[in-house]
Chains A and B, each alone.
Chain A
């Protein structure tokens, strides 16, 4: 089974902190994605990457950046965390027509 692992299940950070969310997949997938999930809003795409060192903005990239130095690892960075970034963050990977595999999520609270 494809496995997508997000390093933290729960995080609490202070406003203004720089926050790193890490995601690793073990099936050599080309594509990786970061979504945030909020009640009543569904899943919204923040950034995605289709190759090492490549990145593309999704629908809500403001306040976020990403890094993909290795194929298996895709990091989401909150440059200066704010309370409106409190959310569930989901990482996913995919290859071709096989559908997406999601991690279990990181619930981030910014206080």
Chain B
């Protein structure tokens, strides 16, 4: 049973546009929701994370929107740049929030930003 559903599987956005990736979760015990960015040949790297006590978190061009009642969260990349082309994973964990018991990942979104 997949606990974190991510969409779309792939996404093409023009340079300067807004990239939006969505995730939905099932387990209401999840309390930590990070996004990871992965470039080819590299491991995933933490991009931004949110907890359920806030509805939005912004870091530079990257914003997480969180809807607790709908059990959904999304990543918005403003003014998308070719350097943002990568695979993005949403994830969730429970307990300490730091994920001592492991993160559950979505299946990933392959994002291409066209110049």
> Total contacts A to B, CB within 8 angstroms?
69
Contact of A42 among B41, B49, B101, B108 (CB under 8 A): B108
Residue among A30, A90, A100, A105 with the highest chain B CB neighbour number at 10 A: A100
Question: B96 to A96, Cβ gap below 8 A?
Answer: yes
Question: B43 to A94, Cβ gap below 8 A?
Answer: no
The stretch among A14-22, A43-51, A66-74, A76-84 that forms the contact with chain B is A43-51
Q: What residues of A have a CB within 8 angstroms of the CB of B32 in the complex?
A: 97
With A and B bound together, what is the CA distance between A92 and B108 in angstroms? 18
With A and B bound together, what is the CA distance between A40 and B46 in angstroms? 20
Tell me the A8-37 residues at the B interface (CB within 8 Å): 30-31, 33, 35
| Contact of A90 with B43 at beta-carbon distance under 8 Å, contacts A42-B89, A96-B98, A97-B97 already known | yes
Question: B107 to A95, Cβ gap below 8 A?
Answer: no
Contact of B102 among A33, A41, A104 (CB under 8 A): A33
With A and B bound together, what is the CA distance between A100 and B45 in angstroms? 8
Bin chain A's interface residue count: 20 to 34
Question: A102 to B43, Cβ gap below 8 A?
Answer: yes
Q: What residues of A have a CB within 8 angstroms of the CB of B99 in the complex?
A: 31, 94, 99-100
CB distance from A4 to the nearest CB of B (A): 7
Question: Which residues of B pack against A, CB within 8 Å?
Answer: 6, 9, 32, 34, 36, 41-46, 49, 89, 96-108
Question: Which residues of A pack against B, CB within 8 Å?
Answer: 4, 30-31, 33, 35, 40-45, 48, 50, 56, 58-59, 90, 92, 94-105
